[in-house]
Amino acid sequence: MSKVKVAAFSISLDGFGAGPRQSLDNPLGVRGLELHSWFMQTQVFKIMHGGTGGTTGIDNDIAGQSFENVGAWILGRNMFGPVRGPWPDDSWKGWWGDTPPYHVPAFVLTHHERPPLKMKGGTTFYFVTDGLESALKQAKEAANNKHVRIGGGVSVIRQFLIAGQIDEMHLAISPVLMGEGEHLFASVNLPKLGFTDVRSVCGENATHVFIKRV
C-alpha cells in the first residue's frame, strides 16, 4: 500500500532538524552536517555519492531500507538550494551535481515558477507553485502506487504533519545538541495527529525511532 513517509530524517537530541543560517557553505545550516554524521559514514551513503567503502551494520541497513519502494519525493525549496526569490536563471541545479540521489520524480515546493529539470540517473525536478495539496497529488500520481517520501526540510515536514498527510516517520536521533536552528516538533502535538505506534532501534551512531499514525 502506498504511504506518505518521512524516512531517515536526522534530528538532534534537543529536537532540531537543521542548523541556523543556511548558506552555500552551510546547506543544512551552521553545524547541520553534524546531524547526518551517522548516515555519511555508511556504505549506502558512500555508494550513493559515487564512492566506495563505508560502514555496514544497523545504521547502514536502516539507511538502505529508507529508499525502498519510493516512487516520488517532495522537497522544500531550501532543500533544493540557497537561491531566494525569483529564479535569476536555470543555472542552479541542486546541491548534488549531475546525478542527484533521488532517481525518481522530485517535486520542489516554491513560490516561483521554473521549468522541469531533468537530471542524470532518473531524477526530474518539478517546481510546484500551487501548494502542498498539489505537490502531494502530483507526487502520488508519479509514484505509481509506490511510497511518497517527504524529504524536508523542517518547515515542509511540519506543514505536512499539521495537514494530517504523513502516515509514517523514521527519525534518526543523532547524539548532538544543537541549541538553535529549526525545531521539528515545536507546537506539534503528535498524539493528537494520530501517532501512537512507536518503535526504536539503536544503531551504531544514531537511535532510530519509527512512529506511525493509526
Inter-residue long-range contacts of 98-103, CB under 8 Å, 24+ positions, other chains counted: 99/50, 99/123, 100/125, 101/48, 101/49, 102/73
Query: Residue 153: is the preceding peptide bond cis (ω within 30°)?
Result: yes
Per-residue pLDDT for 192 more than 90?
A: yes
DSSP symbol at 33: G
Q: Using one digit for the tens of pLDDT, what is the confidence trace for 90-107?
A: 999 998 889 999 999 999
Split at pLDDT 50, 70, 90, the class of 50 is confident
Per-domain boundaries in the chain = 4-18+29-82+100-213
With H, G, I as helix, E, B as strand and everything else as coil, classify residue 168: strand
Structure confidence at residue 155 (pLDDT):
94
Per-residue pLDDT for 84 more than 90?
A: no
Count how many residues are written for the chain: 214
Q: Using one digit for the tens of pLDDT, what is the confidence trace for 134-180?
A: 999 999 999 999 999 999 999 999 999 999 999 999 999 999 999 99
DSSP symbol at 121: G
Structure confidence at residue 154 (pLDDT):
96
Class of 4-18+29-82+100-213 in CATH: alpha beta
Average pLDDT estimate for 54-69: 97
